[in-house]
Structure 1
């Protein structure tokens, strides 16, 4: 068996060279462990870096939404000679279809990066859960820097923003899997669900806070009396830069955090894994939780490949297809796009530019509240019932908002459309909350 440099192996190898982990009953569990309140406080402290990167991931989703017009002007994304829908201000293009399309593509690249990030998480997590969080910050920091420092005086300066969004998107994709995985393995059973919930709420709060900062601009997207003030033109750079600061704080905090018991035991460092369990759990739970970690490691080493499971186990195929289709349909609904371009949509519905940003602020606030409400309802109602309500609500609210406005796009129907957007996003948030079980047994199924 090949051993990693710098890792202490406490297990013994059998004749085949496979590391054998002693059963939990034979392990010398120390009696010096923390009380429940102290353990909970330690768990919260350990999870703060995960909350920080989760906040940054949510922040990235909506950070450009309030600044679409500023980007169009700053990077001269309009061609007045070829676009008949231009609005000119001081002989400069203010808004145009080509510019709006280009900003939408830049936002799209964030999600393209997120898809790649979700896939890379399987590889990154093998190096450790703490390492995974550091890598998330390692993608968000350069991605945000590239976007914030994009030069406006050069032709194609918008390309740097696009590349930055893609790189940061990889980190955002890792957040969706990495944060629940880390929290699930670093928290005691008594508050594991609460900490997982906080992580999801932090993502929603990040999107909300990004739009809140956008309210500081003098003239939101769609304004016909755009003011070329320096603050209005450059405020977006500070806001886009903010995830860099948050991620650096997370990296500093992670420097004092040890690996999870699951990773330590998987590496063969038995004593370190025991010590980590004692630090995480109260005395009466240490032995039981360590047994669960041993069981998880054994399963991961004997786990069959996904294609082999699909060939031999039809129930596995059914479960995999249902989960994949539900996730695909949830995101196909357009809720994620609504988070990145809600201000523009509300303006197109007939509201003033100033009202659009405040309505977007309220819209994302509803998203946070619905996420919190789902945490109290899902366990009592069951995930199946909540998902049915969520999908049904999304379908009905989309029809209620789209049909009247399509038939007669007047002010009254504009109100109906925006109200339906609120209900749509609330029902979406109601059904997307992640599972709270131990992540090494449930989330990372392909390792």
Structure 2
């Protein structure tokens, strides 16, 4: 079925938040050698300088659930874009460690909110048949943002005050995101939840026939009637407990497999393997290109193959790659061998785990608690992201690359077991159908069929 351009445009604008996300978390990778010497940091201080962004992400993701419930998806995204631009400029002009860290924290608040709201907005707008693909494109934008940051790092590396220019350049994607947000509608699901059904209908009728729009809002209202209270305690009531627990497990493991630390410290890892600074920044661009291509593959496969197979086989291949990456460090194999396993590990994350995780997080929770549930899971993954990124330089220096990557490999095997025995297939299911699955599961009913029919159209 063909959908109006405005629907695609609205989803794509929200997805663009992923570029800001990727740019901000990765721009520091190339700046690390320069800021470490500028501030005279040791390994733990460097870890704090890098991971301070993630403390802000924890705050932003945790607070976004309440704020977006009150003010809506669109308005909070606009505020996040403004904060992001201010933080990029502030980090670039910082003259002392305190100012630098404060602006990193501010940028993290913005990124944390965007990490919750961009995929949530897309999940609430996109038709069930393309929701996985559209949400996975969010991950593609993250990888595009990472690639842009790597290219920025490389081309600015020989300039005076290069690390300052690296951070200031983030103002550009922030401005583009801000302008785009001015032209998209509020989420009809949020409007319906807030009792503004007529406004929701007016937006939906721009995409669908009046009868289809009415059917969508009726379905949401019926669904909400079964959950007329959405108190904080409802996150762990008997009807939503299974989905929340699984979401939290996935959030912890997606960080303990170490990929975000590897992305943040890729040049440092390459230098530990024997590359010069210039060569490490150069090959970082290649890694960004591979990430982008791998994510495109993930976008193509997620609504064809499904979420569960990608998570399972992605965890398997990543675990194998990490084992050989640790083996390569242990036995000091040629640097290109180490580089191969590093690239295969990160590429597999980009093709499988990254897009599937954010898709599942945006679609697996009941309507009445979705914003709070997504915020809780995002908050959890940001906490573990912070811990892993903060400690990574210390563990790399203290325990060596071999033991560090062996640990990540074990976490991948645990994630594989979770995908095998706990993860349902949500491909092609409406958000309401997914919610019914969790209700049935809680009542010991049969699992969600992999190829069950999809009822209705978008937002159903």
Sort the TM-score into its range (normalised by shorter chain).
Answer: 0.7 to 0.9
Quote the offset at 1:331 in angstroms. 0.6
Greater RCO (Cα-Cα under 8 Å, separation 6 or more): 2
- In structure 1, which of residues 305, 318, 328 is the aligned counterpart of residue 252 of structure 2? 328
Q: Structure 1 residues 239, 295: closer, same or farther in 2, change over 3 A? A: farther
1:234 aligns with 2:134: no
**Cα pair 1:180 1:199 within 8 Å, conserved:** yes
Task: Report the alpha carbon displacement of residue 109 of structure 1 after superposing the two structures with TM.
Answer: 0.9
1:147 aligned to 2:94?
no
Aligned partner of residue 160 in structure 2, secondary structure: helix
Tell me the equivalent position of 1:345: 269
Q: Which moved more, 1:378-387 or 1:196-205?
A: 378-387
Q: Which residues in structure 2 correspond to 1:20-419 (within 5 Å)?
A: 39-73=3-37, 75=38, 77-78=39-40, 98-126=41-69, 127-151=71-95, 157-189=96-128, 191-218=130-157, 232-282=159-209, 285-299=212-226, 301-303=228-230, 305=231, 307=233, 310=236, 312=238, 316-406=240-330, 408-410=331-333, 412=334, 414-419=335-340
Q: Any gaps of 5 or more consecutive residues in structure 1?
A: 1-35, 79-97, 152-156, 220-231
> In the aligned structure 2, how far is the partner of 1:297 from the partner of 1:243?
40
* C-alpha distance in structure 2 between counterparts of 1:176 and 1:210, whole Å: 18
2:192/2:217 contact within 8 Å kept: no
Query: What's the offset of the Cα at 1:99?
Result: 4.3
Which whole-Å CA distance do the structure 1 matches of 2:65 and 2:234 have between them?
Answer: 18
Aligned partner of 2:404 in structure 1 is none
- Change in 2 beyond 3 A, CA 1:183/1:319: closer
Moved more, 383-392 or 250-259: 250-259
**How many angstroms does 1:309 deviate by?**
6.2
CA distance in 2, matches of 1:179, 1:111: 18
- How many Å apart are 1:51 and its aligned residue? 3.0
CA distance in 1, matches of 2:185, 2:347: 38
* Aligned residues of 2:136 and 2:302 also touching (Cα < 8 A): no
Counterpart-to-counterpart distance in 2, 1:308 and 1:444:
12
- Between the aligned partners of 1:392 and 1:149, the Cα distance in structure 2 is 44
Tell me the CA shift for residue 190 of structure 1: 5.7
Q: Does 1:431 align with 2:330?
A: no
Change (3 A) 1:309 1:102: closer
Structure 1 match to 2:432? none
Residues 40, 191 of structure 1: 8 Å contact kept: no
| Partner SS, residue 215 of structure 1 | helix
Looking at structure 2, the residues matched to 317 and 298 of structure 1 have their Cα atoms a distance apart, in angstroms, of 19
Distance 1:299 1:143 in 2: 42
Distance (Å, rounded) in 2 between the aligned partners of 1:254 and 1:384: 32
Aligned-residue offset at 1:283? 5.3
Deviation (angstroms), 1:189? 4.9
Pairwise CA distance, 1:166: 1.2
Say if 2:136 and 2:298, in contact at 8 Å, map to a contact too: no
Deviates more, 1:185-194 or 1:379-388: 185-194
| Deviation at residue 122 of structure 1 after TM alignment | 0.6
Distance 2:242 2:12 in 1: 36
Which moves more between the two structures, 387-396 or 253-262?
253-262
The 3 A distance-change label for structure 1 pair 112 and 285 is same
RMSD of aligned residue pairs (Cα, Å): 2.7
TM-score, normalisation: structure 1: 0.74
Tell me whether 137-146 or 421-430 shows the greater mean CA deviation: 137-146
260-269 or 339-348: which moved more? 260-269
CA distance in 2, matches of 1:216, 1:333: 30
Q: How many corresponding residue pairs?
A: 367
Task: Report which of the two structures shows the higher radius of gyration computed on alpha carbons.
Answer: 1
Asked whether the equivalents of residues 129 and 182 of structure 1 are also in contact (C-alpha less than 8 Å), the reply is: yes
- Take 1:45 and 1:212, find their aligned partners in 2: how far apart are those partners? 27
The structure with the largest helix share of the pair is 2
Matched residues in 1 for 2:65 and 2:169: separation? 28
